[in-house]
Amino acid sequence: MNISSKGLHSRNKHQQAYDFTALCAAVPALTAFVRDNGYGLLSIDFANPDAVKTLNQALLKQQYSIEHWQLPDGFLCPAVPGRVDYLHYLADLLAVLNKNKIPTGAKVQLLDTGCGANLIYPLLAQAEYGWKVTASELDPQAVNAAQQLIEQNQLQQKITLKQQHNSDHIFQGIIQPNDLFDLTLCNPPFHTSAEQALAGSERKAKNLGHHNTTLNFAGRCHELWCDGGEAAFIRRMIDESQSYAQQVLWFSSLVSKQENVPALQQQLKKLGAQQQLIAMQQGNKQSRILAWSFMPEKQQLLWAQFRWQKK
């Protein structure tokens, strides 16, 4: 089943232009970065990492009541509208099994594989839907930064952080025998090499009229690239997910490159998995979510009844 979208999800709070007056009121430090964009509208320099980080702080505080957010230098700085879009579409997957009502609260368990130092998906998931989140991460420095965010925002009861100690594994070592997850999500490494990642940063900088690729295109090596790029990473994720077929309702991953989709869909078909491809768009940027489940529909409905519909 394919689901298409021409823009942000209908529940996305960022349908309109940013309200910089409200955002600056929430985080006054943002004022220093706001300027006229030449068309009579307020904006920031999106190639300036400090400006983007401060914008994120303001968005998270003003729209999601997340009081504390910061990011160490060198780590990937996420765009909030696109990240929360992913969560809204995952919520729709659950609603289909729940009489078109999105299940909310800690009864829904989400696994974010590779949460990064920014912890963006867990923060947004608990803010928007009250879901309980387990976040895994390989990089020890990112783990420390993410744990600090959990503690600063007093979210220890809503977000659990686990360090992945083996770079060859995605779910193994994280999903324990008694764990049950309604959803998994992942924003996999996009590029196939450090050189390709640098070239991508140079293209972004050129599109924004800059030539300094150290501006807003940071990211640790495992955030940006891996051998074989996103296609190889997701193939490995699909293979590993078979071992947890009865512990996870819906697995999912972003797929940035359309050309990677057919082979991944064929892999899932061979494994007998149900799958959905959900198209997403933010401005000129297009992406997609590939979601899969090893449970037949009848089992999915029983899962929903047991997990979310308790009286």
Which pLDDT tens digit goes with each residue over 50-59? 999 999 999 9
Question: What pLDDT score does 47 carry?
Answer: 87
Residues 47, 281, 252, 196, CA torsion sign: negative
Question: Is pLDDT above 60 for 266?
Answer: yes
Residue span of the structural domain in which 223 resides: 2-7+70-308
The total of structural domains in the chain comes to 1
Beta bridge partners of 159: 133
Measured in degrees and rounded to the nearest 5, phi and psi for residue 242 equal -55, -35
Q: Which of 309, 295, 300, 279 is nearest to 85 (CA)?
A: 279
Burial of 270 (0-12, 13-18, 19+ CB in 10 A): exposed
Please tell me which of 121-130, 211-220, 281-290 the model is most confident about, judged by mean pLDDT: 121-130
Question: What pLDDT score does 31 carry?
Answer: 97
Residue 163: inside a domain, yes or no? yes
- Give the mean pLDDT of 109-128: 97
- Give the mean pLDDT of 164-187: 96
Question: What pLDDT score does 65 carry?
Answer: 97
Q: What confidence category does residue 305 fall into, taking pLDDT thresholds of 50, 70 and 90?
A: very high
Locate 20 and state its tokens: 């910089």
Question: Is pLDDT above 50 for 219?
Answer: no
> What's the whole-number average pLDDT of the chain?
88
Question: Is pLDDT above 50 for 297?
Answer: yes
* CA–CA separation, 166 and 263 (whole Å): 26
Work out the angle at residue 233's Cα, subtended by the Cα atoms of residues 229 and 239, and round it to the nearest 5 degrees: 150
Residue 248: inside a domain, yes or no? yes
- Give the mean pLDDT of 126-155: 97
Residue 136: inside a domain, yes or no? yes
Question: What pLDDT score does 223 carry?
Answer: 45
Question: What pLDDT score does 38 carry?
Answer: 84
Question: What is the pTM assigned to this prediction?
Answer: 0.89
Question: Is pLDDT above 60 for 199?
Answer: no
Residue 51: inside a domain, yes or no? no
Question: What pLDDT score does 211 carry?
Answer: 45
Residue 47: inside a domain, yes or no? no
Residue 231: inside a domain, yes or no? yes
Question: What pLDDT score does 254 carry?
Answer: 96
Q: What confidence category does residue 149 fall into, taking pLDDT thresholds of 50, 70 and 90?
A: very high
Question: What percentage of the chain exceeds 70 in pLDDT?
Answer: 85
Question: What pLDDT score does 180 carry?
Answer: 98
**CATH number of domain containing 233:** 3.40.50.150
Question: What pLDDT score does 190 carry?
Answer: 59
Question: Is pLDDT above 90 for 261?
Answer: yes
Q: What confidence category does residue 11 fall into, taking pLDDT thresholds of 50, 70 and 90?
A: very high
Question: What pLDDT score does 4 carry?
Answer: 43
DSSP codes, the chain: -EE--SSS-TT-TTSSPP-HHHHHHH-GGGGGG-EE-SSS-EE--TT-HHHHHHHHHHHHHHHH--------TTS----HHHHHHHHHHHHHHHHHTTTT----STTSEEEEES-TTT-HHHHHHHHHH--EEEEEES-HHHHHHHHHHHHHTT-TTTEEEEE---TT-SSTTTS-TT--EEEEEE----BSSHHHHHHHHHHHHHHTT---TTSS----HHHHB-TTHHHHHHHHHHHHHGGGTTTEEEEEEEE--GGGHHHHHHHHHHHT-EEEEEEEEETTEEEEEEEEESS-HHHHHHHHHHHH---
Per-residue pLDDT reduced to its tens digit, 30-49? 999 999 988 888 999 988 99
Residue 57: inside a domain, yes or no? no
Question: What pLDDT score does 209 carry?
Answer: 52
Residue 25: inside a domain, yes or no? no
Q: Position 236: which residue type?
A: R
